[in-house]
Amino acid sequence: MTNPKVQEIQDELAPLRAKLDQLCAQADAEGFQVQRETTEALLEVLAALKVLEDTARLTRNTRLVSTVLVERDRAREAVGINPRRRRRRS
């Protein structure tokens, strides 16, 4: 049986993930000239993900925590806090 808190976090994560996908694409399109509105929206998503991360840690569900951390890292890369990963050439 799934913990109701875990399900709640997963339900909150889905729209954040969709918004993050949109904002990451927008930031990539803007390149080095990322607009202020895009950055502010990414920071709002990042703050929401931090709250979800803290809540997920309380559930002691490591898979859920790692899922939230992956999304947090994507947001941090888009904002420029984490360097973007280089893709290997085939």
- pLDDT tens digits for range 10-36: 888 899 899 988 888 888 888 777 788
- Inform me whether the pLDDT recorded for 90 exceeds 70: no
Please give the tally of structural domains in the chain: 1
The residue-averaged pLDDT of 77-87 equals 69
Is residue 75 included in any domain, yes or no?
yes
Token pair for 72: 């947090």
Structure confidence at residue 84 as a pLDDT band (50, 70, 90): low
- pLDDT (0 to 100) of residue 86: 57
Query: What percentage of the chain exceeds 90 in pLDDT?
Result: 14
Q: Has residue 18 been placed in a domain?
A: yes
Model confidence band, residue 54 (pLDDT cutoffs 50, 70, 90): very high
Taking the CA atoms of 41, 43, 44 and 46 in sequence, report the sign of the dihedral they define: positive
Phi/psi for 62 (5° steps) reads -65, -35
CB 37 within 8 A of CB 7: no
The residue segments making up the domain with residue 72 are 4-79
Amino acid present at 57: R
Examine residue 86 and state whether it is found in any structural domain, yes or no: no
Q: Give a yes or no: residue 60 inside a domain.
A: yes
Dihedral sign, Cα of residue 2, residue 61, residue 76, residue 29:
negative
**Residue 90 falls inside a structural domain:** no
